[in-house]
Amino acid sequence: MEKETNIILRVSPSDKRIIQDKAKEAGISVSEYARKVLLSGSIIKVDGEEKKTLNGIANNLNQLTRHANSTGIIPAEVSGTLKELIEKIRYAYRKR
């Protein structure tokens, strides 16, 4: 199919490098990469209450990470809980 029109997109120099690198890694041109991502990608909209919940989870995860990095210890129950939590989040957002 002949491409007849353009979309102009402004990005920072660092974003441009990242996009170029991803296109190169995929073995396609930047145009083809952008077209595929724009046509088949999706945006997950997070509402106010969900955002608060996710921010709380992120804060707890950061605290656990700092603790694990400072002590070198990740208790088994923490590891299991984190895996379970990650799966619940993935499941919740797959349903959208």
Express each pLDDT in 36-67 by its tens digit.
999 988 777 778 888 888 888 888 877 877 88
Q: What whole-number distance in Å separates Cα of residue 30 and Cα of residue 53?
A: 36
pLDDT for 93 equals 66
d(CA 83, CA 61): 11
Tens of pLDDT, residues 7-20: 999 999 999 999 99
Structural domain spans, the chain: 8-41, 48-94
Angstrom distances, CA of residue 84 to CA of 49, 56, 79, 89, 91: 21, 16, 9, 9, 11
Compute the mean pLDDT over every residue in the chain, rounded to the nearest whole number: 84
